[in-house]
Amino acid sequence: MQYLIYCFRETGANFLDYRGLSAVALVTSALSMLCVGLFFVIYVNIHEVVQALENEITMNIYLDEGLAENQILILERVILLNPEVGNLEFVSHRDAIEAYLERYQEEEALVASLGEQALPASFMVSLAPTHRTVAGVTSLAKKIEGIKGVSEIQYGQEWIQAFGWGTRLLMLIGSIVGATLALASIAIVANTIRLTLFNRKHDIDILRLLGATEAFIRGPFLVEGVEVGALGA
């Protein structure tokens, strides 16, 4: 207990005797923590944005013309067998036309001239939570594209591929930058500590001449390092 009190007392005295070095160590620690913290916040926010975009990925499976109701039901069951499928909704010709006209009312005359078969029936698929990724939607598309009765699959292929490539690149750059910042912060703090020890070499030599053990000498410096790190954080 007395040794601990001595360590804290010496730490306080060192802060006063070496104000300049203590200030440099404190500012260096604070700036290092700030840089790493800011990067971490940015990285987490980017990751959340990526996840939000992945959750919006859906797939439209357009069906061949003239399929009977029982064929559509069989297709539905086959598609639902895939673990990537979270929810499946059938969109009839009429439903597709109504949804289209809600967005493009000016095209009503054109759609009317084409008749009720203007837009194909389809399945609108939402991915299961565990498969809401670029890899998940791509895997599902490959499984479904060869099924009889499926005429076309749309899920924004070009956008999905570009998004997947961009996400991987962003995460790689983020990991490299994060590791670099962390190593740089450690190096800066370590060099600051070395500078502090070098400037107090005379005091350390005196303690050694008086017979102090290495553990006794290191104690105040360790406590000071903890305090500087805590204040810097």
Q: Which of 103, 166, 108 is nearest to 134 (CA)?
A: 166
DSSP 153: E
Whole-prediction pTM value?
0.53
| CA dist., res. 118 & res. 95, Å (int) | 11
Give how far the C-alpha of residue 200 lies from the chain's centroid of Cα atoms, to the nearest Å. 44
In the predicted structure, residue 164 carries a pLDDT above the cut 60: yes
Question: Band of the pLDDT at 132, cuts 50, 70, 90?
Answer: confident
The pairing of strands 58-63 and 85-91 is unpaired
* pLDDT given for residue 227 in this prediction: 61
Query: At which residue do the structure tokens 């404190």 appear?
Result: 26
In the predicted structure, residue 175 carries a pLDDT above the cut 60: yes
14-30 mean pLDDT: 66
Least confident segment among 85-89, 102-106, 131-135, 164-168: 102-106
Amino acid letter for position 133: T
> What are the structure tokens assigned to 224, written together?
């000071």
Mean pLDDT score across all residues of the chain: 75
Taking the CB of residue 147, how many other CB atoms lie within 10 A of it? 13
| CA dist., res. 4 & res. 26, Å (int) | 22
Least confident segment among 101-110, 116-125, 139-148, 169-178: 101-110
The pairing of strands 85-91 and 122-127 is antiparallel
Helix, coil or strand: residue 115 = coil
* pLDDT given for residue 181 in this prediction: 73
Q: What are the pLDDT digits (tens) for 193-208? A: 677 667 677 766 776 7
Q: What are the pLDDT digits (tens) for 26-52? A: 677 777 777 777 778 887 887 787 777
* pLDDT given for residue 224 in this prediction: 62
At the top level of CATH, the class of 58-154 is alpha beta
**H or E stretch covering 70:** helix 69-80
Task: Answer whether 207's CB lies under 8 Å from 217's CB.
Answer: yes
Q: What are the pLDDT digits (tens) for 56-110? A: 788 889 888 888 889 989 999 999 999 988 889 888 878 777 766 666 665 656 5
* pLDDT given for residue 33 in this prediction: 74
Q: How many CA atoms lie within 13 A of 115 on its CB side?
A: 1
* pLDDT given for residue 58 in this prediction: 83
